[in-house]
Amino acid sequence: MTAKDEELARQIYTYHSAYDIPLAGKPAPLLLESGWTDDLFPVEQSLRAYNQVRALGGYASLMFGDLGHAPASNKENTDRAFDEEGAAFLAAKLQHQGRAPKSGSVVAYTQTCPKSAPAAGPYTAVTWAKLHPGAVTFGSAAVQRFTSVGGNPTVAVEFDPIKEDELEEGGNVCKEVAGETEPDTANYTTASPGFTMLGQPTVTADVKTTGIFGEIAARLWDVQPGGEQRLISRGVYRLTEGQSGKITFQLHGNGYAFPACDTIKLELLGRDAPYYRASNGVFAVEASNVIVSLPSAN
């Protein structure tokens, strides 16, 4: 790394992220509004700032909904609620008029389909943790193997947010494709009990990796009775060379009501390009004792 590279990294760390929020003193109050379905700025970026500011005794509040960059549908009722809450926050904090939301509080709206349907909500909680008091958990102890060349490239391209931006103004988060078991992938399914997911799915697994520059791409699907499937969330985990042992990681998350008649599917694969950059390496992963926990509002 050159001196210029180091200076660029320092500038980004210090002035363009939540990582360098001062460890002494209280930061400025923050109302953080994020899109569940924004593939450019996933919600964990706001959560990182929220957690750090609250740990320092500062003010932070959260709002989540189907808004932002593609493939977000940018729901009108959610957009209006964000604007009104933002105006109230600024009036309270800058003009000392009215009341701001309580520090720590969370307001969430959900993705709904078709894209023209209004968002469901608001779901409210006094803290992020209390937004999802329940969980729907499934998985398998059996060994499944996937590789760096696995998956169906056509499916990956269909869910490239850049493609969405070109073809559909505002995106189409409700897009569906034919359900399939893609080659060289690991898959875990359960019948939906009928619930609303609010938050970030958590995946734990025992892995045994061969090869270099390994990665695990994860996709969470809603598979409908007719066989069509809709992408609900995704995430990625970087593996070290030859990594073995237990891992835990989270997907970006969403607010989404899974109907009781549908099947929930977690898919693990070695590449999800072009959304995530494909690895330069050749590798294989054996996964066992895989458990996915979906945070539930009910």
Tokens of 85: 């809450």
Whether 76 contacts 82, CB under 8 Å:
no
Tell the CATH topology of 134-296: Jelly Rolls (2.60.120)
Residues 6+ apart with CB under 8 A from 32: 46, 49, 50, 60, 61, 62, 63
| Total residue count of the chain as it appears in this document | 298
Give the pLDDT confidence score for residue 7 in this predicted structure. Answer: 87
* Mean pLDDT score of the chain: 92
Residue 241 and residue 283 in contact, taking contact as beta carbons nearer than 8 Å:
no
Using one digit for the tens of pLDDT, what is the confidence trace for 141-192? 999 999 999 999 999 999 998 865 555 555 789 999 999 999 999 999 999 9
Domain with CATH 2.60.120.260 in the chain: 134-296
Share of the chain above pLDDT 90, in %: 81
Tokens 């009215």 appear where? 98
pLDDT of residue 20: 63
More reliable by pLDDT, 9 or 268: 268
Neighbours of 26 (CB within 10 A): 11
